[in-house]
């Protein structure tokens, strides 16, 4: 009951000096608001990236060529990673279920009197649909027969269909991709924009057709995307992939890998580390604002002790102990800090939501996890306790007779 009464007195003091209390907590409001805003944006990004990677499954693995540097500003001959490596993996690593090469390039598209350059033209085989969970809304995806017969076919995104003015049913129509006539056999399911990238602004063609478009040298630096048959021995499978590729690339024992093998968990960990680092840097910067806020609370509590010296003397004269006075002023400091923290949480969430809408790149909705709210509230309380200890101790040690004489 005593604690509740002290909180009631503290809230009354805040209301009696509303403007002063607001200015005092401004540092905490800004600090907490900035942290919550950054956390809300970062958590939204992490949720989106995690959802996408989980969509391809825990058995997803990708292999990329590693760019090797010799001296600052110089790059060695590009590392070769080819579909022949992929075929060797498919035949010699039994844990691999599906595998596809992947090459990216750009080409101008033409349909009747329309021309358009999409974000990318992707060359892959029939396994890509299963590996990436790439669904087709109309028509079908590239199949093994297309690859065996070297058919000139394409699967396009909805943005491409709209830009070329192909109407509601592009399937069966002929377009030119970099001068090659191709028949549209499918339209990809719409995915929308993601961090500024339009996922519907793509064209998929058979791997050999992509080599005809971009040149045979494009086949020397492919990405290999694959799905393992199970999650039981991912590390063992990764080690077998590494040994096979090192043997095929004639790498000596002391030479580093000229390729990168990444599992789904490793991609997620790398993403989380980057986002965690961003949050940490911003948190370190805004901690200055929290420090200023704490100093402001200490200053205003010292002023409050001076203003209420006669009140303190009266309380002690009627039997209040040092501990009672100490708790009263400490609770007032904590209440002041918590009030600033609560406003900061609301302000930070609103700031994050506005930032998501204003920052170019189609960021995902802001998301504030419960742990961020509890952390902000807890930190505000700690700031209140630390900044209120000295003023509260000063009030508790006042001599009641001298305090009653104070003018």
Q: Is 108 found in the same domain as 24? A: no
173 and 305 co-located in one domain: no
Residue 311 lies in a domain: yes
List CB contacts of 268: < 8 A, sequence separation 6 or more. 49, 50, 53
Q: State whether 231 and 144 are in the same domain.
A: yes
Residues 123, 253 within the same domain: yes
Structural domain boundaries, residue 374: 2-52+270-405
Count of domains for the chain: 2
Distant-in-sequence contacts of 355-362, Cβ < 8 A, 24+ apart: 355/37, 355/41, 356/41, 356/44, 360/196, 361/195, 361/196, 362/192, 362/193, 362/194, 362/195, 362/196
| Same domain for 303 and 201 | no
* Model pLDDT, residue 9: 65
In a domain, 381, yes or no: yes
| Beta-bridge partners for 202 | 120
In a domain, 274, yes or no: yes
Q: Is residue 390 part of a domain?
A: yes
Domain end (from 232, 257, 282): 257
Indicate if 151 and 193 belong to the same structural domain.
yes
pLDDT of res. 321: 73
Residues paired with 104 in a beta bridge: 122
Instruction: Output the pTM of the full model.
Output: 0.66
**Do 214 and 92 have their domain in common?**
yes
Contacts of 10 (CB under 8 A, 6+ apart): 328, 331, 332, 335, 336
* Residue where the block lists tokens 């930190």: 379
Q: State the number of CA atoms in the 13 A half-sphere of 375 facing the CB.
A: 12
Looking at the fold, whether 214 and 82 belong to one and the same domain comes out as: yes
Same domain, 329 and 366: yes
Single out the residue in 257, 292, 323 at which a domain terminates.
257
What are the residue ranges of helices labelled H in 117-170?
128-132, 144-148, 158-163
- Residue 167, pLDDT score: 85
- Is residue 34 within 8 Å of residue 283, measured between CB atoms? no
Considering only CA atoms, which of 210, 164, 218, 212 is closest in space to residue 187? Answer: 164
Furthest-apart CA pair in the chain: how many Å?
Answer: 103
Using the Cα atoms of residue 153, residue 158, residue 159 and residue 164 in order, give the sign of their dihedral.
positive
CA torsion angle 114 119 124 130 (round to 10): -110
Distance CA 388, CA 6 (A): 14
pLDDT at 263: 83
Q: Is residue 293 part of a domain?
A: yes
Cα-based angle 260, 219, 221 (whole degrees, multiple of 5)? 25
Judge contact between 329 and 302, C-beta under 8 A. no
Q: Which residues of the chain register pLDDT less than 70?
A: 1-18, 20-21, 47-57, 67-78, 194-196, 282-283, 285-287, 289-290, 305-320, 325, 359-367, 390, 392, 394-396, 398-407
171 and 241 in a single domain? The answer is yes
Backbone angles phi, psi at 273, to 5 degrees: -65, -40
Task: Output the pLDDT for position 54.
Answer: 58
- Residue 302 has what pLDDT? 72
Any residues with CB less than 8 A from the CB of 13 and at least 6 apart, and which?
304, 332
Asked if residue 57 belongs to a domain, the reply is no
Q: Which of 224, 257, 290 delimits the end of a domain? A: 257
Same domain, 14 and 77: no
Looking at residue 83, what is its pLDDT?
A: 92
């Amino acid at each position: 009951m005593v604690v509740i009464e002290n909180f009631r007195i503290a809230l009354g003091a805040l209301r009696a000096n509303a403007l002063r209390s607001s200015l005092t907590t401004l540092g905490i409001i800004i600090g907490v608001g900035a942290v919550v805003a950054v956390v809300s944006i970062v958590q939204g990004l992490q949720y989106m990236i995690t959802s996408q990677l989980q969509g391809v499954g825990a058995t997803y693995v990708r292999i990329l060529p590693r760019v090797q540097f010799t001296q600052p500003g110089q790059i060695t001959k590009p590392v070769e990673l080819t579909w022949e490596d992929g075929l060797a993996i498919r035949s010699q690593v039994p844990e691999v279920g599906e595998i596809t090469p992947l090459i990216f390039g750009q080409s101008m598209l033409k349909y009747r009197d329309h021309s358009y350059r999409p974000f990318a033209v992707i060359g892959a085989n029939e396994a890509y649909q299963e590996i990436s969970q790439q669904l087709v809304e109309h028509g079908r995806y590239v199949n093994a027969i297309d690859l065996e017969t070297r058919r000139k076919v394409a699967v396009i995104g909805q943005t491409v269909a709209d830009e070329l003015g192909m109407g509601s049913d592009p399937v069966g129509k002929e377009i030119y991709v970099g001068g090659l006539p191709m028949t549209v056999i499918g339209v990809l399911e719409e995915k929308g924009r993601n961090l500024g990238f339009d996922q519907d602004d793509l064209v998929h063609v058979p791997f050999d057709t992509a080599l005809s478009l971009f040149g045979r040298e494009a086949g020397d630096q492919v990405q290999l995307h694959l799905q393992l048959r199970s999650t039981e021995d991912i590390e063992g499978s990764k080690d077998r992939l590494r040994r096979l590729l090192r043997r095929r690339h004639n790498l000596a024992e002391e030479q580093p890998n000229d390729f990168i093998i990444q599992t789904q968990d490793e991609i997620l960990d790398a993403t989380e580390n980057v986002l965690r680092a961003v949050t940490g840097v911003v948190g370190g910067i805004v901690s200055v604002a929290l420090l200023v806020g704490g100093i402001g609370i200490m200053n205003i509590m010292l002023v409050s002790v001076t203003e209420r010296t006669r009140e303190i003397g009266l309380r002690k004269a009627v039997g209040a102990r040092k501990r009672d006075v100490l708790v009263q002023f400490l609770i007032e400091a904590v209440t002041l800090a918590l009030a600033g923290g609560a406003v900061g949480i609301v302000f930070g969430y609103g700031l994050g939501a506005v930032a998501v809408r204003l920052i170019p790149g189609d960021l995902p909705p802001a998301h504030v996890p419960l742990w961020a709210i509890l952390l902000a509230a807890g930190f505000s309380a700690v700031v209140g306790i630390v900044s209120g200890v000295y003023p509260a101790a000063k009030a508790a040690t006042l001599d009641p007779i001298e305090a009653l004489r104070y003018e």
